[in-house]
Amino acid sequence: MHAPTAAAALVAALAAPLAAATGTGSTPVARVLNKCSFPVTVWAVGSSVSPGYTLGAGGGTFAEGFARDPQTGGRALKVTRAPDGLFNGSPQLIFAYNLDAPNVWYDLSSVFGNALQGSNLVVASDEASCPKIQWPQGSPPAGSQVKVCTASRSVTLTLCA
């Protein structure tokens, strides 16, 4: 295989499951749902970084099946308002999770500012008894935001909830 072909195959292999994932199947996923009136870009980050995936305004969705990164352990879905925000110092919202079967630990944090200041942000499991994380104004409240719940149900970060 030629180098350009190998690189293209690698990019396609990484992007296909991410772009195709909607979180509607029976496999539990980490999901980002964009209910905002503007698009956002999401990257899946572990020991490698996926291509950016644009979520359209008013319902764009990104999901990946819960996975444990072989090098870092955890995974992070990083959200920015700028299409290239992961690489230019833009504010980032970070929905992180760590699969530790039979549980999944999840967290919400931000770096370089608050990417969705003024927007209601909610991280919630499909299991109603699991603890939620809520940032009513798009900025982190005081105290730990780390939660844990069963990994048998999906966990969703809803933007502009």
Q: Map out the domains of the chain as residue ranges.
A: 3-159
Per-residue pLDDT for 22 more than 50? no
**Rounded Cα gap, residues 90 and 102, in angstroms:** 35
Dihedral (CA of 119, 142, 131, 107) sign: positive
Q: How is domain 3-159 classified at the CATH fold level?
A: Thaumatin (2.60.110)
pLDDT in tens, 34-52: 999 999 999 999 999 999 9
Kindly tell me the burial class for residue 105, based on how many C-beta atoms sit within 10 Å of its own C-beta (0-12, 13-18, 19 or more): middle
How crowded is residue 139: how many other Cβ atoms within 10 Å of its Cβ? 15
Predicted TM-score of the model (pTM): 0.84
